[in-house]
Amino acid sequence: MAEAQNFIGVSAAIARLRRDIEDAARCDAKVLITGESGVGKEVAANLIHAGSARRSQRLVVVNCAAMAETLLETELFGHVKGSFTGAYRDRMGVLEIAHHGTVLLDEVGEMTPRMQGMLLRFLESGEVHRVGSDQPQRRVDVRVIAATNRVLADEIASGTFRGDLYYRLNIIPMFIPPLRERREDIPALLDQFIGTCSREYRVPPVRLSPTAQALLCEYEWPGNVRELKNVVERLVTRGQSRPIEAAELPEEIRRRAGAKPAHDHGPAAARREADVLFERVVHQGEDFWLVVHTPFMQRDLTRADLRALVARGLTETSGSYRQLVTLFNLPPSDYKRLLGFLRKYDCQMPLRQFRSAHMSVA
Ligand SMILES: Nc1ncnc2c1ncn2[C@@H]1O[C@H](COP(=O)(O)OP(=O)(O)OP(=O)(O)O)[C@@H](O)[C@H]1O
Ligand SMILES: [Mg+2]
């Protein structure tokens, strides 16, 4: 990953973090990286791995929030042929795949109590038991890095996260502060992303007027560095040669309303996002895989957004996934791929609600 090369920032917090990353790379201890969404937790994990003795082996990232529990279990531990419907062959889990390497357990705070128990058992024994296997357990050598945007102390207090697991994971704690608490990093990040984005899109680097630059530095950035990067990308793709003026910045930045916490992404926000996606995919014929799948995999779209989009589509097709493929301007041959994708990330909707809704209208 190119960005793993540099953790951009000039603030004291980032300087400290760079030292912590170097220290963590020198040993094998478990690391728990915390911080709001989009602050750079995955970048930090990449840097730790890339600086460690394990760098020639793999870093495997598992997003614990994106999968249903049973899927996460087989993803981590693997399974043997016939252990459940659809298990046509033996499959290695991530913990085995990453043998001698590193596993990043992303969004570890979202694990169910049962999965937390299984993870704890693995951390204590270093042994992997494939689902459905009666073979002896396999010992693996992996370094575990965990990340979460939840405040695990609160989760422990409310009983949703196990204290014993927390103490196992939190050997080297690393907290990445939100961007609004280290605004001195903003100019460096703007520079960096303007450079990388314009190279990527082969356009001359955009320039910012002093007021535009000032507004970008004052904004709250509820989505942190990820949001900043997305804004830069939008500005760069305009390919404009004169400097960007304040009036040309996205509305939320002009308003300086900011202050919206990163986690404020309720059902209403998901529906708005879904409406925009629906318009782009259905009416403007933009490619579903580019506009929806890619951002979802990069976490720029949440599962709630994707579910809202699918729900909106199924309402139109009265619950038919075949017709959904057509509605989303996909070739019929993409049917399996679409369903597989939605199923994997638990975004396949029960059809009944759409069918009965349609009938009651009819
Ligand atoms: N200090 C940084 N230097 C360069 N790029 C950064 C930095 N911090 C974040 N980024 C970029 O911002 C985006 C979001 O970062 P990342 O995916 O690491 O966030 P995260 O904390 O893991 O978020 P989430 O909790 O949503 O998973 C990525 O594109 C990443 O490359
Ligand atoms: Mg992440």
Question: 331-347, pLDDT tens digit by residue?
Answer: 999 999 999 999 888 88
Angle of CA points 182, 176, 97, to nearest 5°: 145
With DSSP H G I counted as helix, E B as strand and the rest as coil, what are the percentages for the chain, rounded to 5? Answer: 55, 10, 35
| Rounded Cα gap, residues 120 and 109, in angstroms | 13
Q: Name the closest-CA residue to atom 10, ligand 1.
A: 40
pLDDT at site 264: 52
E-strand ranges in 30-142 read 31-34, 59-63, 78-79, 91-92, 102-106, 127-128, 138-139
Ligand index nearest the alpha carbon of residue 39: 1
The domain ranges of the chain are 2-177, 181-255, 267-361
Is residue 17 within a helix (H) or strand (E), and if so which, with residue range? helix 12-26
The closest-lying atom of ligand 1 relative to the alpha carbon of residue 1 is 31
* Class of CATH domain 181-255: mainly alpha
Angle of CA points 78, 96, 138, to nearest 5°: 85
* Class of CATH domain 2-177: alpha beta
Q: By three-state DSSP, how is residue 238 classified?
A: coil
pLDDT at site 274: 87
β-pairing, 31-34 vs 172-175, is parallel
**What length is written for the chain?**
362
pLDDT at site 257: 41
φ/ψ region of 259 (left if φ > 0, alpha if ψ in -120 to 50, else beta) reads left
Give yes or no for a contact between 185 and 18, defined as CB atoms under 8 angstroms apart: no
Question: 73-91, pLDDT tens digit by residue?
Answer: 999 999 988 877 777 888 8
| Ranges of the chain with pLDDT below 70 | 1-5, 256-266, 356-362
228 vs 15, 100, 357, CA distance in Å?
A: 20, 35, 40
| Rounded Cα gap, residues 212 and 246, in angstroms | 4
Cβ of 105 below 6 Å from ligand 1: no
pLDDT at site 362: 33
Cβ of 63 below 6 Å from ligand 1: no
Q: For residue 232, how far is its CA from the centre of ligand 1 (angstroms)?
A: 14
